Amino acid sequence: MSFQRATGLARITPLRSSAGLARSPWSRSVPLAGTGLDRTGRNTASRTGDSPAAGRPIKPVSDKRRAENRERAAMADRLWPDRREGTVMCGCGRPGCHRRADDLHEPRFRSRLGSPADPENVIPLARECHDWVHAHPEEARELGLAVHSWE
């Protein structure tokens, strides 16, 4: 079976079939971390060299994120030395909120190129208020708890 493109190029080798479906030549069985099985349920223990990372588990936190988290924790300890004792109050500014802060929130989200270790971009929030900010972005913007990337 050959594949003819509109440009006139043809495949030299046919695609292999797996359960009646053609596989692309670049797809591989990807090992699922810690299971010894790939995504199709086949045992990967006997195979070696499938990928450069074969046999190595995926890190739960990258080295870059781990360094970012250490820097962020040090910054938070400088800004709120008693934060681990539970005495820092929520900074959401919503009427009637008198909760203790559980989380550090970045008004300029990481996805909007905000730095998690910038002291100007961190507000202590209670978990309920933090969830509310992400569930109600327009209202959060009005309170200054969320910032557009262009602001």
The rounded distance, in Å, linking the Cα atoms of 151 and 142 is 13
Q: Which amino acid does the sequence have at 89?
A: M
Domain segments of the chain: what residues? 21-58, 63-143
Q: Give residue-wise pLDDT tens across range 84-93.
A: 888 899 989 8
98 in Cβ contact with 134 (< 8 Å): no
Q: State the burial class of residue 100 (Cβ atoms within 10 Å of its Cβ: 0-12, 13-18, 19+).
A: middle
Task: Please report which confidence band the pLDDT of residue 132 belongs to, taking 50, 70 and 90 as the band edges.
Answer: very high
Q: Give residue-wise pLDDT tens across range 33-73.
A: 556 665 555 655 554 455 555 667 888 888 988 998 899 88
Relative to beta strand 123-125, strand 103-105 is antiparallel
pTM of the model: 0.56
Q: Give residue-wise pLDDT tens across range 3-34.
A: 454 555 555 665 554 444 444 444 454 444 55
The rounded distance, in Å, linking the Cα atoms of 37 and 45 is 8
Residue 127, pLDDT above cutoff 50: yes
